């Protein structure tokens, strides 16, 4: 098993030195799910939620969050992100919205944390905008489903 890269030889936390790494195309996809009451899902899909367009707001929040990941997660490198997309799949049968975020960069370090942050904040925004009508919403299954680029290559899970 590999050692944790954010700890030095004495166990102290430190930012990983990426200065000797090569710049490569890197991408990561994260997914999560927000489950809610059917009536809440209807408010979102019909655009009649009291606070406005829930999915448009969640998309913007996710994009903004990915760009600020280094401010939120200790020891993350600030990155010049080249693409962020946040998308939603409405699942009427399971009363949920599946949220996915894709982040791309030409850089020396991966973008998994940026994709996870974008997905998380998009889900939190959905909750925030609808909590007045459905406090029982759940946010589940947050995970990286794909990663490519860098020395470790490609990772995919579904």
Per domain, the residue ranges of the chain are 24-149
Residue 3 has pLDDT above 90, yes or no: no
How far apart (Å, rounded) are the C-alpha atoms in residues 18 and 11?
Answer: 19
How far apart (Å, rounded) are the C-alpha atoms in residues 139 and 116?
Answer: 13
pLDDT tens for 82-136 read 999 999 999 999 999 999 999 999 999 999 999 999 999 999 999 999 999 999 9
Active-site positions? Answer: 128
Of 26, 49, 65, nearest to 97 by C-alpha is 49
How far apart (Å, rounded) are the C-alpha atoms in residues 143 and 47?
Answer: 28
How far apart (Å, rounded) are the C-alpha atoms in residues 56 and 40?
Answer: 16
- CATH number given to 24-149: 3.30.70.640
pLDDT tens for 44-67 read 999 999 999 999 999 999 999 999
pLDDT of residue 20: 86
């Amino acid at each position: 098993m590999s050692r944790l890269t954010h700890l030095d030889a004495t166990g102290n936390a430190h930012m990983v030195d990426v200065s000797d790494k090569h710049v490569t195309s890197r991408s990561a996809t994260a997914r999560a799910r927000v489950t809610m009451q059917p009536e809440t899902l209807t408010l979102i899909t019909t655009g009649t939620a009291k606070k406005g367009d829930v999915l448009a707001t969640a998309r913007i929040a996710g994009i903004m969050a990915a760009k600020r990941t280094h401010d939120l997660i200790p020891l993350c490198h600030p990155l010049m992100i080249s693409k962020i997309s946040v998308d939603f799949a409405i699942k009427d049968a399971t009363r949920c919205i599946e949220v996915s975020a894709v982040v791309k960069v030409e850089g020396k370090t991966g973008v998994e944390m940026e994709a996870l942050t974008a997905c998380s904040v998009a889900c939190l925004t959905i909750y925030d905008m609808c909590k007045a009508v459905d406090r029982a919403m759940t946010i589940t299954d947050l995970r990286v489903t794909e990663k490519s680029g860098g020395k470790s290559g490609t990772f995919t899970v579904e």
